[in-house]
Amino acid sequence: MAQETEDVRAKIEGMQKKLEDINYYELFDVDSKLEGDALRTEVTRQFRQLAKEWHVDRYDTDALGEGYRESLQEIFSAINTAYQVLTDKEKRTEYDMELSGENTDIGSILNAESAFRKGQNMLTTGAHKGAHEQFRIAHDENPDDLEYRAHFLYTEYLLIPKDESGTPKSKSRAQEIYDELDELLNEMPEKDWLLTFLGVVAMGLNRDREARALFNEALQFNPKNVVAKRQQRLLKMRAEREKNKGFFAKLMDKFK
């Protein structure tokens, strides 16, 4: 009888330790990719088994000694909480974000999205400084969001002073921004707006052929991308100016 009591104590202590090291999916032995009715059915089945096994009334808590009743109540409470979270869509979504290390502060997320939308409106109207500040707020509130980061970098580039030809005076920083935007494109492929951002920076670095290819690719994904269309026209105008410069230079040489 004494040995049996010791075994039960060890079992309770082991379960408490286990709960510290596993997540809710592992507790119920279910695939985190399950959705809808399939998830609810499996979680419910496992919950019933665990609830039956760990209900305090199944144990002689007087024989187990001080503290074990509370331990059993804590275990049962943890099982019940896990069930409530995994069977509630909103709670599960928030829990999944916690597991992945994403920001779960709803207020922060909403503030970030509000600032981002303001920044987009300002960017559309050409208010680059205001847009950059709003994107900074969005990025600070939710630094894991790659879209916020890309817009923050792009508007930083737009604010770099340019010479008469449109070349940024800090080419090194412009190149750094290009490189980081290019890395973000690997994480967010087929984003026409990001391809456009890259094209604008490439154009500023006088890499017109590369910029043209980026704008063309952006328009393949979104034929209505007005910024890419406008930049294509600017590239065409620049090419014509260079062509005319070359023509007049040759013409002047003939008169020398």
Which range of residues forms the domain containing residue 133? 106-255
Closest CA to 148 of 186, 127, 118: 118
pLDDT at 123: 95
Per-residue pLDDT tens over the stretch 208-231: 999 999 999 999 999 999 999 999
C-alpha dist (Å) from residue 225 to 12, 38, 86, 228, 232? 62, 41, 41, 6, 11
Question: CATH number for the domain including 92?
Answer: 1.10.287.110
The packing angle between helices 226-255 and 192-204, to 10°, is: 20
Closest CA to 71 of 10, 12, 19: 12
Residues 160 and 81 in one domain: no
- The domain boundary, picked from 50, 85, 100, lies at 100
- The domain boundary, picked from 42, 77, 100, lies at 100
Question: CATH number for the domain including 148?
Answer: 1.25.40.10
Per-residue pLDDT tens over the stretch 231-246: 999 988 887 766 655 4
Per-residue pLDDT tens over the stretch 92-120: 988 887 887 665 566 677 889 999 999 99
Residues 159-163, mean pLDDT to the nearest whole number: 95
Quick one: tokens of 184?
A: 């973000």
- The domain boundary, picked from 70, 100, 130, lies at 100
Tally of domains in the chain: 2
Residues 162 and 246 in one domain: yes
Residues 200 and 116 in one domain: yes
Confidence of residue 1 (pLDDT cuts 50, 70, 90): low
Per-residue pLDDT tens over the stretch 22-64: 999 999 999 988 888 899 999 999 999 999 999 998 898 888 8
Please give the Cα distance from 14 to 23 (Å, whole number).
15
Task: Fill in the DSSP letter of residue 197.
Answer: H
